[in-house]
Amino acid sequence: MKIAAIAINTFREAVRDKILYTLLFFAIAMIASSILLGKLVIGDQTKIIKDMGLASISLFGVLIAIFVGIGLVFKEIERKTIYTIIAKPIQRYQFLLGKYLGLILTLVVEVVIMSTGFILLLFYYEPSPDMDILKAILLIFFELMLITSIALLFSSFSTPIMSGVFTLSMYVIGHLTGDLKMLGSKSESAAVKHITEFMYYLLPNLENFNIKAKVVHNIPVSWGYILYAMSYGILYIAIILLISAIIFQRRDFK
């Protein structure tokens, strides 16, 4: 499989890069530091550990998705490594998809390592912790996949710095669209109302994937909801990848 070959090569590149280990180290350190923080808070210690653990998985996942994602395609063009690949019997979209899946593979490994550390820590504090946190991690992972696709989209036509800025903004906005719509609906101007509503449905709504607070407070989250959120993620990713492929297909590599 050509796509798999590209994906594995991308994964290999990430694995042989130091930045991954640095980030992983900090993530584990942060999860571990929740023990300390937990001690400072009187009462609900596992809440702090869960908060910190989930936040670390999400934050460091986002950092990796953005840091690696923005260079994903750009580096291949910059270093001209793409030249030899495009000259092989492979469609450009296959190359793009391979790069994407390669980074996703990297993220899977990363998230699994972090989650294992986190859950072991939980077991140390509670004999039988609520395994609903796995649902939260699952949705965090879908958020990461969506962010990666956005990083890839920008990376397919602009420099890493610009892509980084764009992707980061999308990440922030993605978490605020709900609030924006709410603010907009309070506005008197119909135009503002419509614009915020339009943006709400157009921009990625990353809050869909955020069930951290629910899970930490043991509020049930149905599988139906998880399914909706995952489908939303997959469809959104499909759209983003489609746009990336269109842009990528048309550009010159010079």
* Closest CB 116 distance from another protein, rounded Å: 26
| Smallest distance, another protein to C-beta of residue 4, A | 8
Number of neighbouring beta carbons within 10 Å of residue 151: 31
Distance CA 13, CA 237 (A): 23
Q: Is the dihedral of CA 106, 111, 114, 115 positive or negative?
A: negative
Closest to another protein by CB, 120 vs 246, is 246
Number of residues near another protein (by CB under 8 A): 59
The residue to which tokens 């986002």 are assigned: 62
Of the candidates 154, 156, 200, 197, the one whose C-alpha atom is nearest the C-alpha of residue 175 is 200
Q: Give the shortest CB-189-to-another protein separation in angstroms.
A: 12
Q: For the packed helices 45-71 and 92-125, what is the interaxial angle rounded to 10 degrees?
A: 160
**Residues 169, 74: Cα–Cα separation, whole Å:** 19
235 binds another protein (CB under 8 A): yes
**What residues between 28 and 47 interact with another protein by CB under 8 A?**
none
In the bound state with another protein, the residue whose beta carbon lies nearer, of 89 and 127, is 89
Q: Which of residues 37-96 bind another protein (CB under 8 A)?
A: 51, 79-91, 93
Site string for another protein, 166-195 (x = CB under 8 A): -------------x--xx--x-x-------
Give the C-alpha distances (Å, rounded to integers) separating 235 from 35, 149, 208, 240.
38, 12, 13, 9
Place of tokens 């906005």: 173
The rounded distance, in Å, linking the Cα atoms of 237 and 171 is: 14
Q: Does 26 bind another protein (CB under 8 A)?
A: no
CA distance 95 to 85: 8
Q: How far is the CB of 81 from another protein (least distance, A)?
A: 6
Q: How far is the CB of 42 from another protein (least distance, A)?
A: 12
Question: Which residues of this chain interact with another protein, rule CB under 8 A?
Answer: 1-2, 4-6, 9, 12-13, 16-17, 51, 79-91, 93, 179, 182-183, 186, 188, 200-201, 205, 208, 211, 213-214, 217, 219, 221-222, 224-225, 228-229, 231-232, 235-236, 238-239, 242, 245-246, 249-250, 252-254
